[in-house]
Structure 1
Amino acid sequence: MMVVRERILETALKMFRTYGVKGVTMFDIARDCGISKKTVYEHFEDKQALIDEGMQQLLNNHINYFTQCLQTTDNAIEEMVRNMKYVTNMAKTLNPVMLHEIQKYHPDTWRSIESFKSDGMLGNIKENLKRGMAEGLYRQNLHIDIVARMRQLQLEAAFDPIQYPADQFEMHEVMEQVTAHFVLGIATIRGHKLVNQYLQIKEEE
């Protein structure tokens, strides 16, 4: 029974990410799953329930990845670069229309995304800063609350089509540039060597 439910959720999430939430109907999801619309309604009360659960799953995947990344990386700089690559890859498969429509038509779901950004994302950045300072890779005199918010604003700007229109900028290039700029600004001399290594920046002669 659970398998069908998971398949519906997975299909819905894939369609939302591709087409946005407004244009996708319960019938579309049922057809894509190869089941009846009645079966979809047996598992999910309405489209709102699917949107809520789908977004929650997306956010949980993020948190799980960040946690795993913290545990499996050698240092704070590797962790930051790996997180950046994860977020960039995720963005490639996400139609920005989806987030725009959720913000406009599904304010409750949007609130959970906002709280993820303020708690999950910001918390993750702060932990990374503390880790880098403890490892001697980031400067000791960083004001964590200020610097973490600056990083969060950079990430949000990279996703903003007004700041970086998709027809002019490649998301992964924007992310690599702003990340290099940010991390070189907070790194110690020892940290700089690692940044150049992880981001494959050629050292100037």
Structure 2
Amino acid sequence: MIVKDRIMETALRMFKTYGVKGVTMFDIARDCGVSKKTVYEHFIDKQTLIDEGVQQLLNNHITFFQECLQSTENAIEELVRNMRYIVNIAKTLNPVLLYEIQKYHPDTWRSVEKFQTDCILHSIKENLKRGIAEGLYREHLQIDIIARMRQLQLEAAYDPIQYPADQYDLRAVMDQLTAHFIYGIATIKGHELVNQYLHIKEEE
């Protein structure tokens, strides 16, 4: 691994654990095992490191969503796999990271907001179109409305006020919200796949 990539990997790990405000370039250099001068040779300042780090995280998400679209058999499998991926990412991410980026790094935050619209919301809409075409989602859904509702569901799941981490398991919250969402939009054919992918047992 080249030095720049190692620095970025270290920085992202520290940002995800501690947030961005309390992590210094010296902290990153020490944890990475290089001099602070070496860090500055690759990243002109901390803001550049934050910008490139966040963009790398967003690009990783985009790559996964694209691969998921290509490798899944149907829209419901795609939706569930995306949900599982988001849950796994959230478990490694201190919520303070997003809070601090939003508060102290507004330009970087705009990239996150653009991602939420251009990638997350767009992916939800495309999944709805796919599900309708496959006969798994109801035909006359108003896609713009339903997609925004799903995005709000996802945002609520990570809201510590709505679902405090000491009271709710994120995986269980996402499973319940996703099942509720799919049951609301699915055809009878789609309901059978919901049970399969979310391992929901029918009541006797």
TM-score range, shorter chain: over 0.9
In the alignment, does 2:100 pair up with 1:101? yes
RMSD between aligned residues: 0.7
1:74 equivalent in structure 2: 73
1:171 equivalent in structure 2: 170
1:85-119: CA deviation from partner (whole Å, max 9, x where unpaired): 00000000000000000011000000100110011
Query: Where do residues 1-205 of structure 1 align in structure 2 (5 Å cutoff)?
Result: 3-205=2-204
Q: Which amino acid aligns with 2:113?
A: E
Please, what TM-score do these two structures have when normalized by structure 1?
0.98
Q: How many residues align?
A: 204
| Gap regions ≥5 residues in structure 2 | none
Mapped partners of 1:144, 1:26: distance in 2: 45
Structure 1 runs, 4 residues or longer, greater than 4 Å off: none
Q: How far apart are residue 162 of structure 1 and its match?
A: 1.1
| Gap regions ≥5 residues in structure 1 | none
Mapped partners of 2:165, 2:76: distance in 1: 28
1:14-35: CA deviation from partner (whole Å, max 9, x where unpaired): 1000000011000010001100
Mapped partners of 1:158, 1:167: distance in 2: 14
Please, what TM-score do these two structures have when normalized by structure 2?
0.99
